[in-house]
Amino acid sequence: MNVLAGCDFFTVEVLTWRGLVTYYVLFFLHLESGRVSVAGITRHPDQEWMEQIGRSATQETWGYLHSCRYVLHDRDTKFCASFRSALASGGVKTIPLPAQSPNLNAFAERWVRSVKQECLSKLILFGERPLGRALTEYSRHYHSERNHQGKGNRLLFPDMSNQQHRQGQAIDCRHRLGDLLNYYKRAA
């Protein structure tokens, strides 16, 4: 699981001056750690955009896939040959999943359900910038403030700065996205 990542798209309807516009969000999910990286948001995921994402994802020091050797993805035509070759040139092999088998990329599908149900379905987004902000805030919440049943009901990447808990102390609450996402912990 340490060398595997899942990759997928999901769509979000965003309100603009021209009406509702569909944005495509591409993300990578490292299967062992559960770390999610939103790779990009676009209205038109064409071949050039996908190729650039593939090159960025495999950068040696800061790429989303620098520690992965395999990427699982569905058979969507957006995962074009140039995207797969950009990943291959970075040392990452793509593994297209069989048709009509969403359970084989279950971790990615579960993240899509979580982000839509817990965050995006409760917001009215006006443009790409608010969508990016909402995804950034949700990712921070998902990684360091949200318990995960698949990981023993623990936080994936807890904030280690204030881990001493004393009896009788007050409770702090961290708010994100206008109180949509809340995290409670004992005050230090």
Q: What is the pLDDT of residues 10-32, one digit of tens each?
A: 999 999 888 999 999 999 999 98
Which pLDDT tens digit goes with each residue over 68-83? Answer: 899 999 999 999 999 9
Q: Tokens 């608010």 belong to which residue?
A: 130
pLDDT(163) > 60: no
pLDDT of the residue at 137: 93
pLDDT of the residue at 150: 62
The helices-and-strands tally (H runs, E runs) of the chain is: 4, 9
Q: Are 23 and 44 in contact (CB under 8 A)?
A: no
pLDDT of the residue at 144: 84
Q: Are 127 and 12 in contact (CB under 8 A)?
A: no
Which pLDDT tens digit goes with each residue over 81-103? Answer: 999 999 999 999 999 999 888 78
pLDDT of the residue at 55: 92
Can you tell me whether residue 3 is helix, strand or coil?
A: coil
Which pLDDT tens digit goes with each residue over 53-65? Answer: 999 999 887 888 8
| 179 conformational bin, left if phi > 0, alpha if psi -120 to 50, beta if neither | left
Question: With bands split at pLDDT 50, 70 and 90, how would you rate the model's confidence at 130?
Answer: very high
pLDDT of the residue at 121: 93
pLDDT of the residue at 14: 95
The residue with greater pLDDT, 84 or 184, is 84
Q: Which CATH architecture has domain 4-158?
A: 2-Layer Sandwich (3.30)
Mean pLDDT of 28-41: 92
pLDDT of the residue at 169: 65
Q: Are 71 and 63 in contact (CB under 8 A)?
A: no
Determine what percent of the chain is predicted with pLDDT higher than 70: 90
Q: Across all residues in the chain, what is the average pLDDT? A: 86
CA distances from 112 to 60, 79, 187 (A): 27, 18, 32
Q: Give the closest residue to 90 by CA, choosing from 142, 53, 138, 116.
A: 53
Count CA atoms closer than 13 A to 90's CA, side-chain side: 29
CA distance 35 to 31: 8
pLDDT(153) > 90: no
Long-range contacts: 113-118, Cβ < 8 Å, 24+?
114/142, 115/10, 115/142, 116/10, 118/181
